[in-house]
């Protein structure tokens, strides 16, 4: 089923590794009917739902898998080996950045992904997810025009095009931090592996504004920011693609992870090789 989009929007949801558009007949993304596993069977290779839906609170929209919190159980039965997981995360990030740029959605990397950028402009090899933020305008764009759309992308080092699902939490418009079960506003999901990118919205803190405090922002996961630490966004590169990062990235990383996280050369059984600018598993060292 194809998603009909307003003619005023320039749609480029299927992109090749160079970022150029595929033939015009491929520009409109497919659209999944809804988020239930039964309706995704043509998209998922799973023979059963491995999500934690049955045990989660009814108010929770996204249901992580029963075998790992960073996998979507509708699309995966088990985790990938680390070496395959990292390659799939890299291609998924490339697809997300290329697609968001093409449709005009403002997004930038945060948290562990920003820390990976700090070290070598890549996802850290022990990470199993990617974290990004979007503006309030952009989450509305995704919800109104791209929710449950499927996007094809072929990475430079990938033998074939892969399909990614853009899914927006139906509670995204509820900006209350009390809605703790729905802190994630949207996800970009690899329909082949179940890996995903968590998308959270950066919102104006209107309660702070009522108290006379200006330039205050927050996300539903109860993290708060000064607007001057985020904007203006800086342009850089991540996983070989253009990316935006927060303006005061050093201060944000030190506040979240401590200054030592930006200098310590050993982490999660990996050592940072200053010659190659790569994280190397300690067991692989001679």
Q: What's residue 250's pLDDT?
A: 98
User: Cα separation of 247 and 116, whole Å?
Assistant: 16
- Structure confidence at residue 130 (pLDDT): 96
Q: Which domain holds residue 81?
A: 24-284
Nearest residue to 198 via CA among 187, 189, 207: 187
Distance from C-alpha of 41 to C-alpha of 112, rounded to nearest angstrom: 32
Q: How far apart are CA 202 and CA 225, in angstroms?
A: 9
CA distances from 11 to 7, 29, 43, 105, 125 (A): 9, 9, 22, 12, 33
Task: Kindly state the helix (H) or strand (E) to which residue 204 belongs, with its residue range.
Answer: strand 196-204
Check whether 284 has a pLDDT greater than 80: no
Residue 137 pLDDT > 80: yes
Q: CA 94 from chain center: how many Å?
A: 10
Q: What is the CA radius of gyration of the chain?
A: 19
pLDDT of 20 > 50? The answer is no
Judged against a pLDDT cut of 50, whether residue 55 lies above it is answered with yes
> Does residue 17 lie within any of the structural domains?
no
Q: What's the farthest any 2 CA atoms get from each other in the chain? A: 60
Does a structural domain hold residue 270?
yes
Q: How many CB atoms lie within 10 A of CB 132?
A: 23
How far is the C-alpha of 245 from the C-alpha of 258, rounded, in Å?
19
**Three-state secondary-structure class, residue 133:** strand
Task: Kindly state the average pLDDT of the residues 82-104.
Answer: 94
3-state secondary structure of 188: strand
* Structural domain contains residue 60: yes
Assess if residue 80 is contained within a domain.
yes
18 within some domain: no
Is residue 4 over pLDDT 60? no
* DSSP sequence for 205-257: -HHHHHTT--SEEE-TTS-EEEHHHH-SPEEEEETTEEEEE-TTHHHHHHHHH
Share of the chain above pLDDT 70, in %: 87
CA–CA separation, 202 vs 253, rounded Å?
A: 17
Does some domain include residue 35? yes
Model pLDDT, residue 31: 63
User: Of the given ranges (34-43, 175-184, 233-242, 265-274), which has the lowest mean pLDDT?
Assistant: 34-43
Residue 116, classed as helix, strand or coil, is helix
pLDDT, one tens digit per residue, over 170-225 is 999 999 999 999 999 999 999 999 999 999 999 999 999 999 999 999 999 999 99
Q: Which pLDDT score, from 0 to 100, does residue 159 have?
A: 82
* More confident of the two residues 189 and 8: 189
Q: What is the pLDDT of residue 8?
A: 27
Mean pLDDT of 21-36: 49
* Total of domains in the chain: 1
Contact indicator for 202, 85 with CB cutoff of 8 Å:
no
Whether 69 shows a pLDDT value over 50: the answer reads yes
Identify whether 64 is part of a domain. Answer: yes
Angle CA(238)–CA(270)–CA(197) in degrees, nearest 5?
40
Are the beta carbons of 30 and 148 closer than 8 angstroms? Answer: no
| Mean of all residue pLDDT scores within the chain | 88
Other beta carbons within 10 angstroms of residue 258's beta carbon come to 11
Distance of alpha carbon 210 from alpha carbon 216, whole angstroms: 11
Specify if 2 maps to a domain.
no
Taking only the tens place, the pLDDT of each residue in 215-249 is 999 999 999 999 999 999 999 999 999 999 999 99
């Amino acid at each position: 089923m194809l998603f009909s989009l307003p003619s005023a929007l320039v749609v480029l949801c299927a992109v090749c590794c160079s970022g150029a558009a595929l033939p015009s007949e491929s520009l409109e993304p497919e659209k999944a009917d809804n988020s239930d596993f039964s309706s995704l069977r043509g998209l998922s290779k799973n023979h059963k739902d491995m999500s934690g839906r049955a045990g989660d609170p009814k108010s929770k929209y996204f249901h992580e898998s029963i075998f790992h919190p960073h996998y979507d159980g509708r699309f995966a039965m088990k985790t990938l080996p680390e070496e395959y997981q990292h390659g799939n995360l890299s291609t998924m990030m490339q697809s997300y950045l290329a697609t968001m740029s093409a449709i005009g959605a403002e997004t930038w990397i945060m948290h562990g992904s920003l820390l990976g950028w700090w070290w070598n402009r890549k996802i850290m090899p022990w990470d199993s997810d990617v974290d990004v933020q979007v503006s309030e305008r952009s989450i509305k764009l995704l919800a109104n025009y791209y929710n449950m759309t499927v996007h094809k992308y072929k990475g430079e080092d990938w033998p074939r095009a892969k399909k990614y699902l853009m899914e927006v939490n139906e509670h995204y418009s509820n900006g209350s931090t009390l809605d703790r079960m729905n802190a994630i506003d949207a996800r970009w999901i690899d329909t082949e592996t179940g890996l995903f990118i968590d998308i959270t919205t950066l919102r104006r803190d209107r309660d702070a504004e009522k108290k006379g405090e200006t330039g205050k922002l927050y996300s539903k996961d109860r993290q708060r920011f000064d607007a001057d630490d985020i904007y203006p966004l800086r342009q850089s590169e991540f996983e070989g693609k253009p990316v935006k990062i927060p303006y005061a990235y050093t201060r944000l990383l030190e506040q979240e992870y401590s200054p030592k996280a930006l200098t310590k050369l050993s982490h999660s059984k990996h050592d940072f090789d200053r010659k190659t600018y790569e994280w190397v598993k300690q067991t692989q060292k001679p």
